A and B are shown apart, each in its own frame.
Chain A
Amino acid sequence: MTKKPNEMTIVEAARALRARELTVRELWDACAEAAEAKNPELNAYLEIFDSDERAIEAAQVRIDTEKESAPLLCGIPLALKDNILLEGKVASAASKMLEHYRATYDATVVQKSKEAGALFLGRTNMDEFALGGSTENSAFGVTKNPHDISRVAGGTSGGSAAAVAAHMCIAALGTDTGGSVRNPASFCGVVGLKPTYGAVSRSGIIAAVSSFDQVGPLAKTVEDARILFNALRGQDDMDSTTIPDGLYAKKKEVRTVGVPTHLFAGALDADMLEHFTTTVEGLGLKVKEIELPSAKPALAAYYIINFAEVSTNLARFDGMRYGHAARGETLLDDYVLSRTEGFGPETRRRILLGTFVLSSGYIDAYYKKAVAAREALTREFDEAFQEVDIIATPTMPTPAFTIEAKADPLAMYLEDAFTVLANLTGMPALSVPMGMVERGGKKLPVGIHFTAPHQAEEVLFTTGQAVENSR
């Protein structure tokens, strides 16, 4: 049985397009039809775009003329997270604050995708302003997990992950602040990469936590994630935090995998640990036990920094120049009403917590302590990488949970224990499916998580492909 075009990977679709077994138009239609058919149930997309005839035609011409030398992304329909600007389209960050905001320019990642000939199917659902871990904080309804619609798709890039998993696109872009690409990748059974901090430009990304945010691909295979990463990466004049190639020493082959087992006690379901252990053993690498003493308190540090930067980044939304603009008696009323009506509960909660941890009486006890903890953690990772080439944990402590199961905000935060480490250290990390576990009679995917030193994404891809090949 042959695959439907929308079920293909980037590699498969690129091959079929070049072999003339498939036209760009047919590929687009297959993805768009699947997106339209499944979206009422899953709510992965906030908007499915009309087809851009000129872009489809141009991609076809390019494949016909450039053939093998055309970029692999040429003619490939991608989904875009709703916090990535695509000129002329709404970019709302799933917030009422930006419900009607239209992007005035292209994000650098969009520009690069366009230059490679990629097409955009629509904008995907997310937690409001990328704050959450389940896409339940979207102002426009939760995204449901394609494997079990009573469960969340993860977050904050839940819409992108669900769209890839349900073949409503070929691949997607998300953003990762504390696991927002890797968490939904694990819950939906797809591959998700959080690149090295500074590897991919954030020009045109709606900021959440500027010292953590990175754009990352969600894809059906590790090879597809690599293709997207290589198309998007690179230093950018429009983002001064982007880094040049070779800033960090190049990593060679992978021989030893480090496992911080001390982090798993009491945190993992038994079948999660079993899958993890089997997968690590199947890599054929030397396995070494490592200690990361700062990793447990790191989650607290992560949230302090998250609150602090969210409260400052979202201070720009005041109802004056763009976004939700409510009007009251005085100018102060205008600000307060716009912000109160525009932001959802979790966003307001984090802004207030950020205001607290940065206030003069508490900044030493909270924010400065968190920054010191972050530095200590980074040193521990650096030291660990003297002895091992890659570090493995499960991506999430659990498979996807049921909708509203984590109504307590703190319970939701604790889900991020493994993923936040890579955002705190700025190191790249990859989630790859490692198998299925059963919950409530449904089989649910779970991911394994690898972290490598700065700029060692290739090490992640090699190891991720070893996981794919062993399954």
Chain B
Amino acid sequence: MATVEEVKKLAALARIKIGEEELGKFTSEFDAILAYVGQLEKLDLPQGRGGEKPTLRNVMREDGEPHATGAYTQKLVEQFPARQGDALSVKQILSHD
């Protein structure tokens, strides 16, 4: 079942940090939840039956009718945590050292 190491790995993948004090609690809750949802594993279900009418379908539309350039710019840039003019400022991702 779930181990502290596995929970740490999932947290790293999800870009979330789980504090040491929380790890034990999270891990035991995981165990209980996965044991519950794991009951499906034992269930015998027909998988991927062919030939049925699909219940889900893609809906596409043609490109076109763009809004005026800049119509939403001000509203959007106001939400930026940091900016230079209308550009979003982020940390440098390449280091030169």
Asked whether any CB of chain A lies closer than 8 Å to the CB of B76, the reply is: yes
> Which of A51-59, A70-78, A300-308 makes up part of the contact surface?
A300-308
Bound-state Cα–Cα, A325 to B81, Å: 6
Shortest CB-to-CB span from B79 to chain A, Å, is 4
Instruction: Let me know if B39 and A297 touch, CB within 8 A.
Output: yes
Which of the residues B16, B39, B55, B61 comes within 8 Å of A339, measured between beta carbons?
Answer: B16
Q: Which residues of B have CB within 8 Å of A300?
A: 36-40
How would residues 63 to 97 of chain B score, 1 for a CB under 8 Å from any chain A CB and 0 otherwise? 00000000010011011111000001011010000
Asked whether any CB of chain B lies closer than 8 Å to the CB of A261, the reply is: no
Instruction: Let me know if B80 and A321 touch, CB within 8 A.
Output: yes
How would residues 318 to 349 of chain A score, 1 for a CB under 8 Å from any chain B CB and 0 otherwise? 11111101010011101111011001010011
Asked whether any CB of chain B lies closer than 8 Å to the CB of A410, the reply is: yes
Nearest-CB residue, chain A, relative to B93: A331
Asked whether any CB of chain B lies closer than 8 Å to the CB of A95, the reply is: no
Q: Which residues of A have CB within 8 Å of B37?
A: 300-301, 303-304, 357, 366, 370
Asked whether any CB of chain A lies closer than 8 Å to the CB of B4, the reply is: no
Shortest CB-to-CB span from B6 to chain A, Å, is 8
Q: Which residues of A have CB within 8 Å of B75?
A: 104-105
Instruction: Let me know if B33 and A373 touch, CB within 8 A.
Output: no
Instruction: Let me know if B10 and A318 touch, CB within 8 A.
Output: no
How would residues 36 to 48 of chain B score, 1 for a CB under 8 Å from any chain A CB and 0 otherwise? 1111110101111
Instruction: Let me know if A373 and B45 touch, CB within 8 A.
Output: yes
Q: How many residues of A contact B (CB 8 A)?
A: 56
Instruction: Let me know if A340 and B59 touch, CB within 8 A.
Output: no
What's the dominant secondary structure at chain A's contact region?
helix
Which of the residues B15, B30, B61, B88 comes within 8 Å of A321, measured between beta carbons?
Answer: B88
Asked whether any CB of chain B lies closer than 8 Å to the CB of A240, the reply is: yes
Shortest CB-to-CB span from B89 to chain A, Å, is 10
Nearest-CB residue, chain A, relative to B81: A325
Shortest CB-to-CB span from A294 to chain B, Å, is 8
Instruction: Let me know if B40 and A370 touch, CB within 8 A.
Output: yes
Asked whether any CB of chain B lies closer than 8 Å to the CB of A368, the reply is: yes
Instruction: Let me know if B16 and A330 touch, CB within 8 A.
Output: no
Which of the residues B13, B26, B79 comes within 8 Å of A322, measured between beta carbons?
Answer: B79
Shortest CB-to-CB span from B74 to chain A, Å, is 9
Which of the residues B40, B61, B72, B80 comes within 8 Å of A366, measured between beta carbons?
Answer: B40
Given contacts A320-B88, A334-B90, A373-B45, 8 further A-B contacts (CB under 8 A): A104-B72, A104-B75, A240-B59, A240-B61, A300-B37, A352-B11, A366-B38, A410-B29
Q: A residues touching B (Cβ–Cβ < 8 Å)?
A: 101-102, 104-105, 237, 240-241, 297, 300-301, 303-304, 311, 318-323, 325, 327, 330-332, 334-337, 339-340, 343, 345, 348-349, 351-353, 355-357, 359, 365-366, 368-370, 372-373, 375-376, 378, 408-410, 413, 426
